[in-house]
Structure 1
Amino acid sequence: MTKTQKTVYILVALVALVMGLTFNKMMSGKSQGDNTSLIDAGIILLPQSRHLPDVKMTNQDGQPVLMNELKDKWSMLFFGYTFCPDICPTTLAQLRQIKSELPKAVQDKLQIVLVSVDPNRDTPQQLKQYLGYFDPQFVGLTPASIEDLQTLANAVSIPFIPADTSKPNYTVDHSGNLALIGPDGTQRGFIRAPFNTAKMVAQLPGLVERK
């Protein structure tokens, strides 16, 4: 390759790079603009979906559930626990209200899932009884181990701090954000806490129509 050819090659590569960066910026700006109302409602979509790990949980009916097989509905994962003194009952009550204000067709495409950060106490029976106070259709999942729970939490970027279960009446520190899982079983984004009920009710119908 001659010196002139090398120069031309470098110039072509630079032009392609600049055009690519410009196109990506334009597309990002367009996507951001399209999602402004969602962001205002605290719904943050990821630029690329994330696959969930094949962690096995047990639901409130004692049935096994693979996390990477949560499909066909939009799922909002809330990492909490039944002995939580404040944030969990408040969050679940608000999610019940949000769900109740959505059209029935939207409700059918959406599920609320409580992932327990306290497998030591949250048996399937405990989860079923607790969730029954809010909405019997809410799904409760408990992991086989803290390690499995940490794998899932890390994958969806929802933090929690494992508790010292040797202490009486221990509490578990955890996030109030929700992980948003699409009907294809991948994580599509987050919903930030605290929630704005009216804005979420306005935006969720359009969201669940996405594939």
Structure 2
Amino acid sequence: MPLLTAVIRSTLAAGLLAFSSGLLALDRHALLDEANILLLPRERELPNLHLLDEQGQLVRTETLKDRWHLLFFGFTACPDVCPTTLSDMRQLLAQLPSDVSNQLQLILVSADPKRDTPDVLRTYLSYYRAGFKGLTGEMEQLQKLSKALGLPFVPAEEPRGDYSVSHSGNLAILGPDGTLRGHIRAPFKLEGLKQALPQLIEAE
């Protein structure tokens, strides 16, 4: 009889553990959905590319480590999507706990390198006073990064005068190991992101 009781208890405990794990998975899925975050089933390595930051310093994609990075493609002459994205992210980072926001770095990658020199990027990003970084460089390198991150953009065919650039409104999420983990999809759900990003970072 004691053996039967032990078996029953063990079975119940295993069932409760599986049930709890299922609830946690459902809660995590709901949390990510509320934040409009789509995580990849597996981390994805980035190609080793060479770009310039807003200070004119050489940056290799393999050095984007030790912090979580949020990257998006845009351009400083963008009339709507980019200013909205930067404003939303500034608001979000200001509302996150400091131990979470300190682990996040937002980077604007230029889809318009002809106009977006490091000086232009630095001046533009300084308006937001949020510590945002910028990357620019050769079009070939930028397009390779765009493809690797799953953030498409269409270069201007004739970059003259007051032209525009078509680009994705999503953000790519890089983990502290420099791998692509997923995307934050537009439109941004700031309240959901306030809940989901700390959970994502703490689970690392």
**Under a length normalisation based on structure 2, what TM-score does the superposition of the two structures give?**
0.85
Q: Separation in 2 of the partners of 1:209 and 1:60?
A: 30
Query: What SS is found at the alignment partner of 2:125?
Result: helix
Contact kept in structure 2, 1:123 and 1:142, CA below 8 Å = yes
Q: CA deviation at 1:156?
A: 1.2
Q: Separation in 2 of the partners of 1:31 and 1:161?
A: 37
The reply to whether residue 116 of structure 1 matches residue 110 of structure 2 is: yes
Alignment match, 1:34: 28
* Cα distance change on mapping 1:151 and 1:32 into 2, 3 Å: farther
The reply to whether residue 180 of structure 1 matches residue 145 of structure 2 is: no
Provide the aligned C-alpha RMSD in A. 1.9
Alignment match, 2:51: 57
Where in structure 1 do 4 or more consecutive aligned residues deviate above 6 Å?
27-30
Alignment match, 2:195: 202
Contact kept in structure 2, 1:51 and 1:68, CA below 8 Å = no
Query: What SS is found at the alignment partner of 2:188?
Result: coil
Q: Separation in 1 of the partners of 2:150 and 2:44?
A: 11
Contact kept in structure 2, 1:180 and 1:188, CA below 8 Å = yes
Q: Which runs of 5+ in 2 are unaligned?
A: 1-20
Q: Separation in 2 of the partners of 1:32 and 1:186?
A: 25
Q: Map Cα deviations across residues 59-105 of structure 1 (whole Å, 9 max, x no partner).
A: 11111111122101110001111010111001100010001001111
**Under a length normalisation based on structure 1, what TM-score does the superposition of the two structures give?**
0.82
Contact kept in structure 2, 1:164 and 1:170, CA below 8 Å = no
Q: CA deviation at 1:52?
A: 0.7
Alignment match, 2:83: 89
Q: CA deviation at 1:167?
A: 3.0
Alignment match, 2:13: none
Query: What SS is found at the alignment partner of 2:52?
Result: strand
Q: Separation in 2 of the partners of 1:95 and 1:82?
A: 16
Contact kept in structure 2, 1:120 and 1:165, CA below 8 Å = no
How many matched pairs? 184
Q: Separation in 2 of the partners of 1:155 and 1:80?
A: 16
Contact kept in structure 2, 1:68 and 1:186, CA below 8 Å = no
Greater displacement, 59-68 / 163-172: 163-172
Q: CA deviation at 1:29?
A: 11
> Of residues 107, 120, 125 in structure 1, which corresponds to 2:119?
125
Q: Map Cα deviations across residues 27-67 of structure 1 (whole Å, 9 max, x no partner).
A: 99985663321122111110001101111111111111111
* Cα distance change on mapping 1:49 and 1:29 into 2, 3 Å: farther
Q: Which runs of 5+ in 1 are unaligned?
A: 1-26
